[in-house]
Amino acid sequence: MPSLNPLLLDSGSPPIPRVQAWGRAYSGARGPLLNLCQAAPAYPPPPAMLEKLAEAAGSPAAATYGVIAGDEALREAYAAEVSALYGGPCAAGQVAITAGCNMAFFVAAMAIAGRGDAVIVPTPWYFNHGMTLGMLGIEARALPCGAERGFIPEIGTAEALLDERVRAILLVTPNNPTGAIYPPELIAEFQALCRRRGIWLILDETYRDFLPAERARPHGLVEGGWPDNLVQLYSFSKSFAIPGHRLGAIAGPPAIMPAVTQVLDNVQICPARAGQMAVAWGLGALGDWRAEKRARTNERVEAVRAAFGRLPAWRLDALGTYFAYVRHPFGAEAAWSVAERLALEHGMMVLPGPAFAGADTHLRIAFANLDISAIGALEDRLAGAA
């Protein structure tokens, strides 16, 4: 049999299907299965968004090829939102639309780094980031983050990892998998470090729309003009509850956009157009709905915080937006074994720390697809499991 790409084979496999298989084997003895392994909103899109999606899907224009970097209407609308949110200029020509934020990272990584280069990634990391870099022959250089700092990366540790092979530092905030929210001052320090060393800062802000209202502006990097080393990634999927429509975005300095467009032309030709049309409308029309979902998400955050306050055996080490990162109470038992037991015996699908290049001591709980009553069920089952 002909061989396959060894870089692909060495990059690992997605962990979610493995956990979902355990979930399918769950007997139902503890009640309905709780899906805590994949980040997804607990609610559907608003009816008006569904109407716009249906209308757009039925239009002849949506069936034609579009612009490689995305429809002008969506790029203009998103650039305007970025400018308003961050208090600095962003033009439509600085934006490209992708098939979800996973593709946004793939495109950014390919535009910035090549085989034999390195990108610094805080650990625990989102497994698709590590896998993508591995597939491209790019070293994912781990920047360890520990519970003692709430899984917040440390600037001095990052600087010590820099050498001539490093092309970028990746930050994900609010973080997946830990939920940690990086302070604006720290984000600014990382951008300044990258500028001094002549490398890129890739800033994945997939979950920014669910930050507490007082933190709605996550950082001030753009206030004085777009930094020439900043690539920002975003997902419309979570904000509008349309993950199945696969829409994300890259924003960056003008100099990087030709490279981004070249990659996009080879991997997607153009983004699917019906979703773009609906989201371009939604960015202007659904502000109140998005604000209400931000508030409801933060109610879930506080409900999870309170639940773990009543679960002394389980230690909540980081929490934010969609995720809780917790230390399990089972000592030296491997986290994969813990996750399997929780799925099969207690009907809770969670992901273990090693899935994210993290420690065997921790689990990630993705709770955004639970309502408040289901969070109560989660608390009861964790108490019973311990």
For residue 233, the model assigns a pLDDT of 98
For residue 216, the model assigns a pLDDT of 85
Domains of the chain and CATH, by start = 6-44+289-385 (3.90.1150.10), 64-285 (3.40.640.10)
Which SS3 state, helix, strand or coil, does residue 125 take?
A: coil
Q: What ranges in the chain are assigned the alpha helix state H?
A: 6-9, 16-24, 47-57, 72-86, 100-112, 127-135, 155-160, 184-197, 236-239, 257-267, 273-285, 287-309, 335-346, 372-385
For residue 354, the model assigns a pLDDT of 96
Q: Extract the tokens encoding 86.
A: 């961050």
Q: Could you tell me which residues are beta bridge partners of residue 171?
A: 203
Which residues in the chain show pLDDT less than 70?
none
Helices (H) and strands (E) in the chain, counts: 14, 13
pTM: predicted TM-score of the whole model, two decimal places = 0.96
Query: Going by C-beta distance under 8 Å and a sequence separation of 6 or more, which residues neighbour residue 292?
Result: none
Q: Are 214 and 180 contacting, i.e. CB atoms less than 8 angstroms apart?
A: no
pLDDT tens digit sequence for 271-290: 999 999 999 999 999 999 99
CA distance 342 to 354: 16
For residue 209, the model assigns a pLDDT of 96
For residue 42, the model assigns a pLDDT of 84
Q: Are 367 and 318 contacting, i.e. CB atoms less than 8 angstroms apart?
A: no
